[in-house]
């Protein structure tokens, strides 16, 4: 538990002691259970010490006691605003360990759904951040649109949030008929809705006053602190894993990586809005690319569950099915690190195998964890009210910070 002791400061009327204020873990604007211990001189933050761990559930340890396929369900619970990104990263890591190639159709569907996740996650961010700063209506609008994305996830995977839809070697199920029409409706609706939010916020005087020039960081500090995602790109660095180290056929898609150079909260807001538009572009391209039919799983006996029909006629398929669900499969010993661009930045899964059906070690490189560690850099020397904007714009999800 972080503690601070007050120190002496010079004030206008002479010497005074600073005040130590505890913020959280139940503070509504800390997005979950973040606690920040603040040392204050009046309303100015002298020091800020983030205290995390209130949501630690031992997911990494639990993964070691599950088979490779079972652990997918735990990855949903890390970044609960972008469960499909976590699924994707974990599956890619295990596929790398196994040297599995995933059919193109499944790769495109994965791209479409993770981009849809990014849109949904950024919508939550815009909404909650607006409500933190006092704009109630934007919150309601954003959640209305996000619900449409959630309905698509539910339609495809059966779950709104804990999807577990990506499986090792492909997808869990064939997407239902008519899902593409729903995506199409969503993609057609969104640009106008984004304009609506921008009308409400981008040139809003209160919004500008609360964000512009607040929580600024330069590129050098951001890189040194391991920040990634929109927080890093707001400083002018164009590091985006989708471009730098393409995965799941991202190299076949055309999109821009928006960057800004100001590095402040307002730049991060503009970037996320721009990213939503880029994601919609990728979704449109993916819709054209996805063939109407084709395999959604690789043919890897013993690793990927066989098709139901074949189990009824072939004995080997039945045996494989039984073996996969009773003992799992055993990748060769070795370690891999897979990184993807989650809505919050570089998400990494380090998976180590010892040749048994359970992962020897699963380490999650959570983008929020690294981004949050730079919070004192953003807010020290500023007002308490600015801290809310800083916490908001680094877009933390405590589920993946604490794991």
Partner 1 sequence: MAQAEDVQQDPVAERLRAWDPQAVAEVLEFRGERTLVVPRTHLRRAAELLKAAPELSFNFLSDISCIDRFPVEPRFELNYHLLSISRRAVIRLRVRAHGADPVVPSVTEVWPGANWHEREVFDLFGVRFEGHPNLQRILMPEDWEGYPLRKDYPVEGYR
Rounded to 10 degrees, the C-alpha dihedral 258/142/89/306 comes to -130
Rule CB under 8 A: say whether 5 interacts with partner 1: no
Radius of gyration of the chain (CA): 23
Q: 76: cis peptide before it, omega within 30°? A: no
Q: Which residues pair with 334 in a beta bridge?
A: 353
Rule CB under 8 A: say whether 1 interacts with partner 1: yes
> Which of 169, 183, 401, 147 lies closest to 300, judged by CA?
169
Binding positions for partner 1, 98-157, rule CB under 8 A: 99
Nearer to partner 1, 27 or 363 (CB): 363
> Which of 229, 235, 230 lies closest to 217, judged by CA?
235
Nearer to partner 1, 138 or 347 (CB): 347
Rule CB under 8 A: say whether 180 interacts with partner 1: no
Cα 364 to Cα 358: distance, rounded to the nearest angstrom: 16
> Which of 264, 234, 271 lies closest to 389, judged by CA?
264
Q: Are 372 and 52 in contact (CB under 8 A)?
A: yes
**Closest separation between CB of residue 252 and partner 1, Å?**
19
Rule CB under 8 A: say whether 248 interacts with partner 1: no
Cα 58 to Cα 50: distance, rounded to the nearest angstrom: 20
Rule CB under 8 A: say whether 175 interacts with partner 1: no
Binding positions for partner 1, 215-244, rule CB under 8 A: 223-227, 237, 239, 244
Q: Which stretch binds partner 1 (CB under 8 A): 30-38, 107-115, 136-144, 332-340?
A: 332-340
Using alpha carbons only, what angle is made at residue 392 by residues 389 and 398, rounded to the nearest 5 degrees? 145
Nearer to partner 1, 191 or 333 (CB): 333
Rule CB under 8 A: say whether 37 interacts with partner 1: no
Long-range pairs, 347-350, Cβ under 8 A, ≥24 = 347/79, 347/85, 347/86, 347/89, 347/400, 348/89, 349/75, 349/89, 349/90, 349/92, 349/93, 350/93
Binding positions for partner 1, 289-318, rule CB under 8 A: none
Q: Which stretch binds partner 1 (CB under 8 A): 62-70, 203-211, 303-311, 390-398?
A: 62-70
Q: How many residues bind partner 1 (CB under 8 A)?
A: 44
* Crossing angle of helices 136-157 and 179-201, rounded to 10°: 170
Rule CB under 8 A: say whether 400 interacts with partner 1: no
Nearer to partner 1, 301 or 376 (CB): 376
Among 29, 62, 70, 330, binds partner 1 (CB under 8 A): 62
Rule CB under 8 A: say whether 68 interacts with partner 1: no
- DSSP states of 164-186: --EETTEESSPPPTTHHHHHHHH
Nearer to partner 1, 60 or 275 (CB): 60
Q: Which stretch binds partner 1 (CB under 8 A): 110-118, 269-277, 303-311, 331-339?
A: 331-339
Q: Are 283 and 183 in contact (CB under 8 A)?
A: yes
**Closest separation between CB of residue 362 and partner 1, Å?**
9
Rule CB under 8 A: say whether 96 interacts with partner 1: yes
Contacting positions for partner 1 (CB under 8 A): 1, 52-53, 56, 58, 60-62, 64-65, 96-97, 99, 223-227, 237, 239, 244-245, 332-337, 339, 346, 348, 350, 352, 354, 360-361, 363, 365, 369-370, 373-374, 402-403
């Amino acid at each position: 538990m972080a503690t601070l002791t007050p120190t002496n400061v010079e004030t206008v009327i002479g010497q005074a002691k600073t005040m130590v204020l505890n913020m959280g873990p139940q503070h509504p604007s800390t997005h979950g259970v973040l606690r920040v211990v603040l040392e204050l001189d009046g309303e100015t933050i002298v020091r800020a010490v983030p205290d995390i761990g209130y949501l630690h559930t031992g997911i990494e340890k639990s993964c070691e006691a599950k088979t490779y396929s079972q652990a997918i369900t735990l990855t949903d619970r890390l970044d609960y605003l972008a469960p499909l990104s976590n699924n994707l990263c974990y599956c890619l890591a295990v596929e790398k360990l196994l040297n599995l190639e995933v059919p193109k159709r499944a790769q495109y569907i994965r791209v479409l759904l993770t981009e849809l996740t990014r849109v949904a996650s950024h919508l939550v961010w815009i909404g909650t951040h607006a409500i933190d700063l006092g704009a109630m209506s934007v919150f309601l609008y954003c959640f209305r649109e996000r619900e449409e994305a959630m309905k698509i996830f539910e339609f495809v995977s059966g779950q709104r949030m804990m999807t577990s839809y990506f499986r090792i070697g492909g997808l869990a199920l064939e997407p239902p008929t008519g899902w593409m029409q729903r995506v199409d409706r969503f993609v057609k609706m969104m640009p106008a809705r984004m304009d609506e939010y921008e009308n409400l916020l981008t040139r809003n005087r209160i919004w500008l006053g609360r964000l512009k020039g607040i929580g600024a960081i330069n590129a050098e500090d951001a890189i040194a602190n391991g920040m990634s995602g929109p927080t890093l790109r707001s400083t002018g660095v164009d590091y985006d894993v989708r471009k730098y180290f393409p995965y799941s056929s991202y190299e076949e898609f055309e999109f821009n990586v928006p960057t800004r150079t100001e590095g402040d909260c307002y730049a991060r807001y503009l970037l996320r809005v721009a990213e939503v538009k880029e994601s919609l572009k990728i979704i449109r391209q993916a819709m054209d690319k996805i063939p109407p039919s084709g395999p959604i799983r690789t043919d890897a006996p013993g690793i990927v569950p066989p098709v139901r029909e074949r189990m009824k006629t072939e004995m080997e398929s039945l045996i494989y099915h039984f073996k996969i669900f009773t003992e799992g499969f055993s990748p060769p010993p070795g370690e891999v690190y897979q990184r993807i661009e989650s809505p919050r930045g570089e998400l990494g899964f380090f998976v180590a195998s010892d040749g048994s059906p359970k992962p020897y070690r699963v380490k999650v490189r959570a983008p929020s964890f690294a981004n949050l560690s730079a919070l004192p850099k953003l807010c020290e020397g500023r007002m308490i009210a600015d801290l809310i904007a800083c916490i908001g714009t680094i877009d933390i999800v405590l589920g993946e910070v604490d794991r």
